[in-house]
Each structure stands twice: as structure tokens, then as C-alpha cells.
Amino acid sequence: METLKAAIPENLKRMIRESSTDDLRSTCSSLHGFFQHFEPFHRMISDLADPEKALCGKNTDAALESKQLGNQCFSNGDYSKALDCYTQALRMAPLEACDGDKNVVATLYINRAAVLHKMNLSIECLRDCIRALRICPSYAKAWYRRGKANASLENYKDAICDLNVAKSVESSSGGKKQIESEIQKILDQCGRISPVGRHQNTLNTMGEIPQVRLQCVTIPDKGRGMTSPCDISEASLVHIEEPYAMIILKQCRETHCHYCLNDLPADIVPCSSCSIPLYCSQQCQIWAGGQMFRVYPEDHHIVEGLPNDLRGYVSEIILGNDSEQEIKDIPEHKHECQGVQWSAVLPSEIVLAGRILAKFLQRSASIDIANFVESLELSHSYTQMPSESKLELHIYAIVLLYCLKHSYGAAFSVDGVLMSQVVIIISQIRVNCMTIAQMKSIDAHWRPDKFGESGPRTYLTSSMEQVRVGKAIYKAGSLFNHSCQPNVHAYFLSRTLCIRTTKVVAAGCELELSYGPQVGLWDCKDRLNFLKDEYAFQCGCSGCSEVNLSDIVLNGFHCINPNCPGVVLESRVVDCEKKKIKHFPNADQVSKNDEIYDVCFIAFNQNNESNHVRPGCCLKCGSYCNLESSRTTVNKAWKCIERLQDAIVSKELSKTTISDALKSLHLLRSKLHAYNRRIAEAEDNLAQAFSLVGELQLAKDHCKASIQILEKLYDPDDIVIAYELVKLCSIQLSLGDSRVADSINRMSDICSRYYGPHANLVFPHLLDLGREIKNF
């Protein structure tokens, strides 16, 4: 990228950096003209797009090497290493590769099934057996192993059928005898244990559907937005949508399914054409890659040699449920899937643009690119983008087009018009793509021997963390505008976007979600800067235009008078808040009982309010505070809190680290306003530290102190409070504190408001906690 950028003549770079949407055809044509004759560009494209030069293509020798290593590990009893080796071999093995008369992929699945069986992962073992059988239906060992897995799952009827098929296709008499004895064992076992139903491993999405049809309307200064034709109660599902195009984030490639984004199971299914993507199931692999991995369909004559009662059974297993495998749209990964490098190397948003372009190229006979881009109906802010981004977009557009040209050949030719439309698509992705995040609960069980045996018997700290797993374009979802005080909440079930109201929304009101920044998380200035940098718009939401307590105190300092609840602001915050107070039409509009009135008494009580909002002056009593010296003390104290954070992560907590952090908390409390976010963070860290060393009463006090501050910064029913309550509940449970029931109920109420009936799906933790209440 840097090489290409450096090579572009300065005058062309300037033209591109200063371009607006109207100039795009001309800037793109000029850049295309330049790169057409620039040899290093074509070398780079060949490295990125030529399957011969790629490192991610299939390779039989490498697959056999990993298989060999897997076999060794299996013999040595190192099952977890064997599992990794077989999965690695499956990534490398071409579908049609043979080792002697055996299909390599089928053998690898069956070897991995053996490991999974040893690891007591019977469902996973069963699935690998089926994969092997779909490739080689007459693979006796696969039927035999499937029978054993079914027996472990107490699916005795299926187990007997599997072993009978194994016996029928097994050629050696020794083998047949072994299978017969296995059948006898299972028959004996069936008599003792009552059979249970087949295990299922499906995601229950509860079939909830939105009850209201939202309207897309034009909103002043924001473009289009979503409103409701009627009043909507809180916690109502208002929108559900599958992505138009999606991509997994690079850091999740080895841990999450590249199609549905769920955690990968032990029996990972690799892509059938290249060695990059991993899937949780064969179904996800087909939806993403468009290719099933059946290679010997003619081998179905196996059915003919079987007794009548087994024929239907075998057909069902080896053919699978084809209606489920139907590919609804263009498979997302297919167009990149020729063992080429570019989809692994280019940034996610560029690969996402490639996936969208593939949809165009599939239909290009009937529709031209400009029409296609228009039909996407996505807004963009190309003209407002930083100049360096404009240059990068141009370069990525041409690189992407040439990479795609390698796959699609003569189907299209690159020119300035096509390139300008790709620049628009990438700009649209920047503004409209959503980051798919999943909630994870992190449990830390740790018994600290350094502190002796004086602590209680069990301690558990649970925290909720959002893990970013993918990026996607949702066409209708992208019509929701942003608010820093949103009234709807967006979350994901696998890759499905769900949007739910968190407040009552009156008819005609706009439904707005948060693009990230929220009142309570950052102050107004930080939010405005973020939205400007990331989305190139000036936020005009209620949180950014009206005075609120959170924005004033979140980064505020303490008044020098110890008993004064007033706040002292830095100049960067003053600039923002002054404007809001100035626009406050009448001081009487603030209720005298409101805490905000108490904190900013002077500001609301003077005729010329904004003059009294000065950096360094208390907004309640007017006393001057030397912010320079307060800042120095705070920075020093914060270093101690950071040391505590590091010690928690590395599990190397010492008494000194904790007592230093406690002293720092007192310093922070003396210099910062009581609702400053940093105090909440310090309290939270101390809660975690005390709970890890078994000082649960102290842990509880600090956790509650943190929640009290967050309740001031956010709405008391905000989901952030629920995440903090997860910790409090764990501590209370370990303490045997009967008030845990109140905390659990409060947390469940908040989660239901944000996730409705999906709450237990997103937080399986809630079910565990619900069960715990019964013990009190």
C-alpha cells in the first residue's frame, strides 16, 4: 500500500486528496491510467490474486504431513495436539486427494472422529463420521465409529443400525467379528439403560417477529431515518434482518465460524477450496462457499447391497437433508475462494466491498454498476472524508478490482467509471457497516495461596465483555440514525441483527440507536469528535444539544471546598457545555430538586449563565481550583490503578498493590468530582481485586460504589448497570448474602428490556443465576 502510495505523482495525489464525489470519475481514470503502466502494481496483483503464488491454497503433501503428526500424537495419547493436527490437515487437503485407494479428507475426518471419541466429545465425533460417509459411503470404519458414538450418546437404535451397515460393508472376517461383538455389547447395554432421544445442537431463536412496520422518513439535517406509525412499548422487537454482506474480523478467524460467527466447536469444518475459512458446520460451509464436499456420489450402490430395513437409514445419512442445504444467495466466500491471497490480506472493509461487488458481477448482464450502486440505497460521506482516506480509497478500489478481475476474467473491464463506483461502495461501507459483537462472560476462579486460608471457600468474579467478531452491511438496519441517548438497542444472534426498543417510543418519533458513543460512556466533546472522525457528521442528538448531569460530571473535578457537591470543569469540557447552557431557554426549566441544579447552581442562577461557566471555577460556589496541580495528583494516582489492572490480568496481585490502589482511590476521590467516571473504574478494579483475594465484603462495597456512580452517569436501568450487577451477584452469591435475589431480579429486568425473550440466549449466565436464587 505504502509503495503504491509513494509512487503516485504528487499532482495526482493532490487532485485525489481534494476531490469531491463529482470529481471521482476523473480522479479514478487518472489513477487507473497511471497504474496500468506501473509494473510493481501488476506484480502485487499477481501476488495477491494468482492461485499459483498463494500460500492459502490446498496442498496434499502438507496435509499428509500434518496427518502423520496427528497419528503420532494420537498414539502417544496427546489427543488435544492430535485434534489440532487433523484439523490443520483438513484445511490443507484437496477434496479429491487420495493416499493409496483412500480419500484423504474422509480418512482425516474419521481419524479426527477417533480423537473426539477419546475426548468424550460424542456429538462432534458423530458429525465427523457423517462427513466421512458423505465422501465415502462404504467406509466401514466410519460406520463402526458412528455406531460407537451413537452408543455413547445412548442412541442405541441408531448405533445398532450403524454397526449392521459396518458389518455389511466390512470385507475382512476378523473385522466382521469385532463388529458383531460390539453389537452384542450394545444390546446388553440397551437392556440396562432406557434410550434417550437424539441430541440436538440447534440455536433456538424463539421465532419472535417484529409487530410494527416502521416507516422510513426524511429527518432534518440527518437524511433518512426510521419512525413508527404508532406508540411502541419498551422491549419490543422492531427490526430483524440478515446481513446483505458480512465478513469475520481477522482476530476471530481461528476461533469463530466464518459464516454464522458462533464459537467454533472441536469438529471444525474447513473451506473445501482454500485453507483460510473455518466453519462450525457443513451447512455454514456450504452457505459461505457454495460447494458441498461430496466426491463419490456414484458410491451410493452401497445401498443396493443392504437389507431393506437399512436402505432408508443409510440414504438419509449419506444424502443429508438437501432442502436445508439450499443456497439462498450468492455464497459470500465463493468469489474469493480459489486459494487466492487477497481476501486474507486486504482490510476487512475492502473484502466486504469485494463481496458486494461479487453480487453485481453475478448480475452484470442485466444491470450496470451505477444502477447497482444506486439500488444499494446507502448513504456516504465521500466529500467530507479526510484527504488521506480519499487517497487510500482510490488505491484500494483499483487493487480490489484487479484482484476480482483475476477471478472473473473477461466478464468486466476496469475503467474510471467502474472504479469510481467502487470508491463509492467503500465509502458507503465506512458509514453504514455495523460491527457484530457477541457478549461473553468471563469467569475467574482463583484461590490465592499467598493470602493463606483465612478467606471464604469459594470466590468467583464474573464480568461481561463484548467481543467484536464481524462487520456487516444490513440494508434496512443502516437506515437507523444515531443518538447518544438511544431509544433502541441493536444486538446480534449469530449474524442476525435484532433491534429492540429500550424506552416507550411515541408515534411519529424517530427510532435511534447508538453507533458507539453514549451519554455516560464519554463526555459530549469526545462523542462529537468520535462521530466526526468515524462517520463525518456533526451529531445533533438530544444528548449533544441539551444539558445533562452526566456530561458535566463525567470528567469533572472536585471543588476545593470538601463539602461542596459542585463541579469544576476543564476548558475542553467548558466549551461544549457553555453552548448547551446558553441554549437553555430558562433556568426555571431545571427542577430545583434535580441533582444537576445542585451541581451547577451558579450556572443556572445567573442572568448571563454562560459567563459563570469558567474552567477551574466551581459551578456551584464559584471557588477557584488549581486544575494543574489536581491533574498531576490524579495522573499519579491513576498509575497505581493501572498497576492494579495489570496485576488482575496477570493474576499477580499482592497486598501492596491493593493497598496502594486503595490510597490512590482516596486521592482520586479528593480531587475528582464524586461522579467522575475514573472513580467508578477504580472502584470496579478494587472490587475485582478484593474478590480475587477472597475479601468478599470489601469486594461487595467497592462493586456497589461503582454501580452508584454508573447510575448517575447512565440511566439507572441502562444495560451497563446490568453488566456491573453480574459482578455484584457473583460476590453476593459467594458471600451467601440473601440480597442477591434482589440483584438478580434487577439484572434480569434490565436484560429483558434490552434483549426481550433473547436475554437467556445472549446471557446463558442469567439462567445459572436464576437457578441460584432458589437456594436462598
Ligand X SMILES: C[S@@+](CC[C@H](N)C(=O)[O-])C[C@H]1O[C@@H](n2cnc3c(N)ncnc32)[C@H](O)[C@@H]1O
Q: How far is the CB of 223 from ligand X (least distance, A)?
A: 3
How is residue 465 written as a grid cell?
465483555
Binding to ligand X by CB under 6 A, coded x per residue (else -) over 366-385, reads: -------------x-x----
Question: In the 8-state DSSP scheme, what is residue 624?
Answer: B
Binding to ligand X by CB under 6 A, coded x per residue (else -) over 204-223, reads: -----------------xxx
Binding of ligand X at residue 494 (CB under 6 A)?
no
How is residue 621 written as a grid cell?
460556589
Residue nearer to ligand X on the CB measure, 269 or 544: 544
Nearest Cα neighbor of 247 from 342, 324, 338, 328 is 342
Residue nearer to ligand X on the CB measure, 481 or 676: 481
Q: Which helix (H) or strand (E) holds 21?
A: none
Using CA atoms of 266, 144, 61, 345 in order, give the dihedral in degrees to the nearest 10.
-30
Residue nearer to ligand X on the CB measure, 188 or 221: 221
Q: Which helix (H) or strand (E) holds 724?
A: helix 719-735
Binding of ligand X at residue 754 (CB under 6 A)?
no
Mapped onto helix, strand or coil, the DSSP state of residue 512 is strand
Q: How many CB atoms lie within 10 A of CB 201?
A: 10
Residue nearer to ligand X on the CB measure, 128 or 510: 510
CB 528 within 8 A of CB 503: no
Q: How far is the CB of 53 from ligand X (least distance, A)?
A: 38
How far apart CA 376 and CA 371 sit, in angstroms, is 9
Residue nearer to ligand X on the CB measure, 381 or 610: 381
Q: Quote the distance between the C-alpha of residue 97 and its chain's center.
A: 35
Residue from 111, 481, 550, 685 that binds ligand X (CB under 6 A)?
Answer: 481
Residue nearer to ligand X on the CB measure, 426 or 625: 426
Q: How many CB atoms lie within 10 A of CB 600?
A: 27
Residue from 107, 236, 420, 478 that binds ligand X (CB under 6 A)?
Answer: 478
Binding to ligand X by CB under 6 A, coded x per residue (else -) over 570-609, reads: ----------------------------------------
- Which range touches ligand X (CB under 6 A), out of 266-274, 347-355, 473-481, 658-666? 473-481
Q: How far is the CB of 350 from ligand X (least distance, A)?
A: 19
Nearest Cα neighbor of 343 from 296, 392, 275 is 275
Q: How far is the CB of 544 from ligand X (least distance, A)?
A: 8
Binding of ligand X at residue 428 (CB under 6 A)?
no
Binding of ligand X at residue 189 (CB under 6 A)?
no
Q: How far is the CB of 529 from ligand X (least distance, A)?
A: 14
Residue nearer to ligand X on the CB measure, 541 or 682: 541
Binding of ligand X at residue 21 (CB under 6 A)?
no
Binding of ligand X at residue 537 (CB under 6 A)?
yes
Nearest Cα neighbor of 728 from 711, 714, 712, 741 is 741
Bridge partners (DSSP) of residue 461 are 444
Residue nearer to ligand X on the CB measure, 423 or 710: 423
Residue nearer to ligand X on the CB measure, 46 or 384: 384
Residue from 161, 422, 493, 541 that binds ligand X (CB under 6 A)?
Answer: 541
Q: How far is the CB of 224 from ligand X (least distance, A)?
A: 3
Residue nearer to ligand X on the CB measure, 215 or 233: 215
Binding of ligand X at residue 745 (CB under 6 A)?
no
Question: How far apart are the two ends of the chain, measured CA to CA in Å?
Answer: 61
Residue nearer to ligand X on the CB measure, 291 or 384: 384
Q: How far is the CB of 230 from ligand X (least distance, A)?
A: 22
User: How many H-runs (helices) and E-runs (strands) does the chain carry?
Assistant: 32, 16
Binding of ligand X at residue 535 (CB under 6 A)?
yes
- Which range touches ligand X (CB under 6 A), out of 3-11, 355-363, 534-542, 661-669? 534-542
Q: What does residue 467 show for φ and ψ, rounded to 5 degrees?
A: -110, 125
- Length of the chain measured in residues: 776
Interface of this chain with ligand X, residues 609 to 628, rule: CB under 6 A:
none
Binding of ligand X at residue 475 (CB under 6 A)?
no
Nearest Cα neighbor of 158 from 179, 186, 193 is 186
3-state SS string over 245-268?
EEEECHHHCCCECCCCCCECCCCC
Residue nearer to ligand X on the CB measure, 580 or 671: 580
Using CB under 6 A as the binding criterion, the count of chain residues that bind ligand X stands at: 19
Contacts for 382 with CB less than 8 Å, ≥ 6 apart: 20, 21, 24, 390, 393, 423, 424, 427
Residue nearer to ligand X on the CB measure, 71 or 384: 384
Q: What does residue 114 show for φ and ψ, rounded to 5 degrees?
A: -65, -40
Mapped onto helix, strand or coil, the DSSP state of residue 499 is strand
CA neighbours within 13 Å on the CB side: how many for 749?
10
Q: Which residues of 729-759 are buried (b: 16+ CB within 10 A; e: fewer)?
A: bbbbbbbebeebbebbebbbebbbbbbbebb
Binding of ligand X at residue 225 (CB under 6 A)?
yes
Specify the residue for cell string 440414504.
Answer: 315
Q: How far is the CB of 515 from ligand X (least distance, A)?
A: 7
Q: How far is the CB of 539 from ligand X (least distance, A)?
A: 5
Residue from 432, 438, 630, 691 that binds ligand X (CB under 6 A)?
Answer: 432
- Which range touches ligand X (CB under 6 A), out of 313-321, 400-408, 533-541, 710-718? 533-541
Binding of ligand X at residue 479 (CB under 6 A)?
yes
Q: Which residue is nearest to ligand X (CB)?
A: 223
Q: How far is the CB of 429 from ligand X (least distance, A)?
A: 11
How is residue 702 written as a grid cell?
467497592
- Which range touches ligand X (CB under 6 A), out of 199-207, 290-298, 478-486, 625-633? 478-486
Mapped onto helix, strand or coil, the DSSP state of residue 774 is coil
Q: How many CB atoms lie within 10 A of CB 494?
A: 19
Residue nearer to ligand X on the CB measure, 267 or 523: 523
How far apart CA 395 and CA 398 sit, in angstroms, is 5
Interface of this chain with ligand X, residues 128 to 147, rule: CB under 6 A:
none
Binding of ligand X at residue 688 (CB under 6 A)?
no
Q: How many CB atoms lie within 10 A of CB 775?
A: 9
- Which range touches ligand X (CB under 6 A), out of 327-335, 477-485, 564-572, 693-701? 477-485
Residue nearer to ligand X on the CB measure, 184 or 538: 538
Residue nearer to ligand X on the CB measure, 50 or 242: 242
Nearest Cα neighbor of 357 from 337, 381, 379, 376 is 376
Residue from 51, 175, 265, 540 that binds ligand X (CB under 6 A)?
Answer: 540
Binding of ligand X at residue 482 (CB under 6 A)?
yes
Q: Quote the distance between the C-alpha of residue 289 and its chain's center.
A: 21
Q: Which residues of 118-135 are buried (b: 16+ CB within 10 A; e: fewer)?
A: eeebbbbbbbbbbbbbbb
Binding of ligand X at residue 86 (CB under 6 A)?
no
Residue nearer to ligand X on the CB measure, 160 or 511: 511
How far apart CA 749 and CA 756 sit, in angstroms, is 9
CB 56 within 8 A of CB 341: yes
Binding of ligand X at residue 539 (CB under 6 A)?
yes
Binding of ligand X at residue 431 (CB under 6 A)?
yes
Residue nearer to ligand X on the CB measure, 439 or 521: 521
How far apart CA 479 and CA 225 sit, in angstroms, is 5
Binding of ligand X at residue 474 (CB under 6 A)?
no
Q: How far is the CB of 479 from ligand X (least distance, A)?
A: 5
Name the residues that contact ligand X, by CB under 6 A. Answer: 221-225, 379, 381, 431-432, 478-479, 481-483, 535, 537, 539-541
